[in-house]
Amino acid sequence: MSTLSIKNYLSLVKFSHTVFALPFAVIGFFLGIEFSADSPDWSLFLKVVLCMVFARSAAMGFNRYIDREFDKRNPRTAIREIPAGIISPTAAISFVILMCLAFIFTTWWINPLCFALSPVALAVVLGYSITKRFTWLCHLILGLGLSLAPIGAFLAVTGSFSLIPVLFSFAVLFWTAGFDIIYALQDEEFDRSQQLYSIPVRLGRVKSLRLSEVLHVFTAAFLALAGFLASFGMLYWIGFAVFTALLIYQHRLVKPDDLSKVNLAFFTTNGVASILFASFFLLHHFLS
């Protein structure tokens, strides 16, 4: 595969957007280390990262494949790789199958529980792409997909479920759904014209932004509850404060009558928020 084609596939799956969920997978991994009182297994850590990359790449590739006709009709998305003819639909679905197989193999390499749950995880992350056709709850389904990151990484380390990583997963669910609503504001009119479902289509801009704010309040609440129940130290709470401040900041960027800063709110702010929060969690883990 040439350098140019690798770049095209990375663009197809928006590889840079991995910064949303990957930091929470890192949190889940080191949370599992704390619970198991083991030393970090760096080969296992690599497998967890690979699982994240493979699952997300499969999900994004499938999304681009199944939405290719809508993307072709939408001026905002017509430049994407499939409608623009850069990557063929056959090549795209072949890439998706390859990523799914790589994900399943890597979970088998981790432990039996992760392997057994791998079809469920793929069903969620791939299934999101069809939900916009029949339910405005599609944003929450996307959130559910990304929310598998912390609990999945925790299971990779411990092989068992626990409350604290589940709380982190709920935080990721509501965080993702909240910022995806903001992102979907850009396509409100197009989605309505194509009879697609989304919260902006159902509620309009003003109410959608208010609902996004409510979901992000839930995000902060679950992160705070996890911190209290796990008795995390000061470094965790500094990270929590930074993350929460950036949530508030993104809502100040986007107005019902001004969507010019949606990309800044969606990608930059949320990407920075997740990386900083995970960084402070790691400082807590290694220094506390």
Round the average pLDDT of the chain to a whole number and report it: 94
152-194 residue pLDDT tens: 999 999 999 999 999 999 999 999 999 999 999 999 999 999 9
Q: CB count, 10 Å around CB of 206?
A: 11
Q: Where would I find the H helices in the chain?
A: 3-12, 22-36, 42-66, 68-73, 89-110, 112-131, 138-158, 163-184, 188-193, 199-230, 234-253, 262-263, 270-287
Average pLDDT over residues 42-64: 96
Task: Answer with the residue of higher pLDDT: 251 or 1.
Answer: 251
| pLDDT at 15 exceeding the cut of 80 | no
Percent residues over pLDDT 90 in the chain: 86
In the structure, what pLDDT confidence band is assigned to residue 199 with cuts at 50, 70 and 90? very high
The pLDDT value given to residue 67: 97
Domain count of the fold of the chain: 1
Q: At residue 3, does pLDDT exceed 60?
A: no
Say whether pLDDT at 37 is over 80: no
> Looking at residue 176, which CATH number applies to its domain?
1.10.357.140
Predicted confidence band of residue 6 (pLDDT cuts 50, 70, 90): confident
* Cα separations in angstroms, 103 against 11, 71, 196, 229: 20, 27, 30, 32
Average pLDDT of the segment spanning 248-266? 89
- Nearest of 176, 171, 177 to residue 219 by alpha carbon: 171
What pLDDT is attached to residue 10? Answer: 86
* Among 11-20, 199-208, 227-236, the least confident range: 11-20
The model's pLDDT over 92-113, given as tens digits with 9 standing for 90+, comes to 999 999 999 999 999 999 999 9
Residue 1 pLDDT: 53
The residue that leads in pLDDT, 285 or 16, is 285
Q: Which domain holds residue 144?
A: 3-287
Determine the pLDDT at residue 36.
87
**Which pLDDT score is estimated for 20?**
86
